[in-house]
Amino acid sequence: MSKTADSGKTDADAASSVEQYLVKDPERFALNVARTIEQAGKAAAAWAEPREKGEVRDGVAEPMADMVKTFSKLTEYWLSDPSRALEAQTRLFSGYLDVWSKSLHRVTAGEDVEDTAKPDRSDKRFQDPEWGRNAFFDFLKQAYLVTSRWAGDLVEHADGLDEHTRHKASFYMKQVTNAISPSNFILTNPELFRETVASNGENLVRGMKMLAEDIAAGKGDLKLRQADYSPFELGKNVAVTPGKVVGRSDVAEILQYEPSTETVLKRPLLICPPWINKFYILDLNPQKSFIRWAVEQGHTVFVISWVNPDSRHGMKGWEAYVREGLQYGLDIVDRATGEKDVNVIGYCVGGTLLAAALSLLAKEGDDRIKSATFFTTQVDFTYAGDLKVFVDEDQVAAVERAMGEKGYLEGTKMATAFNMLRSGDLIWPYVVNNYMRGKDPTPFDLLYWNADSTRMAAANHSFYLRNCYLENNLAKGSMELAGCKLSLADITIPVYNLAAREDHIAPARSVFLGCKYFGGDVEYVMAGSGHIAGVVNPPSMNKYQYWTGGKPVGDFEDWIAKAKENPGSWWPHWQKWIEKKDATRVPARGPGKRIEVLGDAPGTYVKVRV
């Protein structure tokens, strides 16, 4: 028996390798292709029907126009100098020739040659053995990697671009290169190819059926299914820390949680979460719940649960969210406990609102908040991460026009934007798994929360985009609320400022830069991991680490170099910081002792889905 050129394989091995890509039952395969086309027609109908009825207007044109405009500027730079363009083309063709030459050597001479391009260790797309064993798929993989890295270099070395255009070009280039990966297509992904042949195309039938269901669920837009959501129910196995609704305004419900200790800290704790997502990220399950843990440490915990806005809330801006949300929460805490002195936590944009509110309340003489903790919060948006890609005058104006029709921005729009920040992890693996492999995603509480979208009230979102991302007014001292010009220097209470090292939404450098604007002492702490896992990291899991150091002044990299790395969760470190401010304890206070109870936690506002 003879040997093939491929690493000593026999002819029989090669035949077996080829056989796995051959259709065994053509009649059944053809039937399933027909069924796939039928399901694809249902998906197309689910997409077209709401558009024909005028219920959905496509917003694709404006983002696509911005991408084309950005790439035009990139192209203009490279084509404006013939020698520069020739050099770029030569690098690409040289890479292709190297891949082709080495592939020929491997196939014809059986030589074990070094790959021209290898995937990063963290890249999960090319883990199937056939990506390296099969000459065809190996060639596709390497040609793709050469192309995508060359495209990235075009952006990096385009010296004539301004920083915002470069940022957008880099982001859009990642979206394009992630989308065209050979791992995303049946005929160019060996694993998908094998599964399609082995099942005679039944995976495609299931996938198209799921696609039609997800477009229907999105009412004409694709609502990408990232997990099996059916096992989860709010108040049953998600957001289950015992508590009551003790206040309700037009924009917020105030929840108070049952104590689990005989004595509690005298100062109650009010949490102001982001309205871009729902508060129960801090109460996903008993093992991961920051809220439950804080209760166990002796905090009397109150949480703002923001309304999922509709057209009635279109004119509710930041002042309304301060007055009817944060300040209303302070009033409820006072009525429920008799305590005026309060510790407050703000998470993400909830923290940005808290910072603005603290400045306003300082000018108005409201000094009930005695300490402020910020979770991954920006007050200076100079280095605001990839979300800044979506913010310039043209794009903000387009969002405002879209919001003007209904009084709010659809929740799916923000969800899509966040998913695009990590499209290689949060979009394409699910597209492949769901619609090509035809497999149901597995249950995952975090992704259930991630899919539980919230709308954005028009006035609120417009104020946020313009004053924070577009004009950076809070850091400049030119943001105005209730007729007052705000200054972060007026915030003289102690601040605990938590960043996350791998945060793409509120980069650690950006949070660090914001520290200098506060008028009092700031404890800057940097957690390991990202925007969610860096915050929701209970001590019992013993995961990641956190860094502590001196005052957050000077250069960010210098602070990191001198900082102390501590293993595990930052939660106990924060608890010690809180107790240093005031460790006085009083008998435990349960909801309903001094104030009317309106219902059980997690309340009604959080259960409104879009």
Residues 211 and 333 in one domain: no
Domain total of the chain:
2
In a domain, 447, yes or no: no
In a domain, 183, yes or no: yes
Mean pLDDT computed over 96-118: 83
Q: How would you list the strands of the sheet with 269-272, edge to edge?
A: 564-567, 545-548, 522-527, 495-500, 369-375, 342-347, 269-272, 301-306, 252-257, 243-248, 599-600
Q: What percent of the chain has pLDDT over 90?
A: 77
As a residue count, the chain comes to 610
Residues 128 and 263 in one domain: no
Residue 56 has pLDDT above 80, yes or no: no
Let me know: does 552 contact 522? Beta carbons within 8 Å.
Answer: yes
pLDDT in tens, 333-373: 999 999 999 999 999 999 999 999 999 999 999 999 999 99
Residues 150 and 291 in one domain: no
Residues 375 and 469 in one domain: yes
Residue 14 has pLDDT above 70, yes or no: no
In a domain, 527, yes or no: yes
Residue 21 has pLDDT above 60, yes or no: yes
Please tell me the distance from the alpha carbon of residue 199 to that of residue 439, in angstroms, as a whole number: 12
Q: Provide Rg for the chain, Cα atoms.
A: 27
Residue 80 has pLDDT above 60, yes or no: yes
Q: Which of 202, 218, 234 is the last residue of a domain?
A: 218
What's the mean per-residue pLDDT of the chain?
A: 92
Residue 64: Cβ-neighbour burial (10 angstroms; 0-12, 13-18, 19+): exposed
pTM over 0.95: no
Residues 564 and 518 in one domain: yes
In a domain, 197, yes or no: yes
In a domain, 396, yes or no: no
In a domain, 233, yes or no: no
In a domain, 5, yes or no: no
Residue 219 has pLDDT above 80, yes or no: yes
Residues 174 and 256 in one domain: no
Question: What is the domain extent for residue 146?
Answer: 20-218
Please tell me the distance from the alpha carbon of residue 173 to that of residue 583, in angstroms, as a whole number: 52
Residues 304 and 257 in one domain: yes
Residues 157 and 305 in one domain: no
Residues 489 and 590 in one domain: yes
- The catalytic site residues sit at 348
Buried b (16+ CB within 10 A) or exposed e, 18-48: eeebeeeeeeebeebeebbeebbebbeebbe
pLDDT in tens, 250-290: 999 999 999 999 999 999 999 999 999 999 999 999 999 99
pLDDT in tens, 523-544: 999 999 999 999 999 999 999 9
Residue 90's pLDDT is: 94
Residues 249 and 351 in one domain: yes
Residues 197 and 248 in one domain: no
Give the pLDDT band of residue 3 (cuts 50, 70, 90).
Answer: very low
Residue 418 has pLDDT above 60, yes or no: yes
pLDDT in tens, 546-593: 999 989 999 999 999 999 999 999 999 999 999 999 999 999 999 999
In a domain, 445, yes or no: no
Residue of 66 and 193 predicted with greater confidence: 193
Residues 126 and 167 in one domain: yes
CATH of the domain at 553: 3.40.50.1820
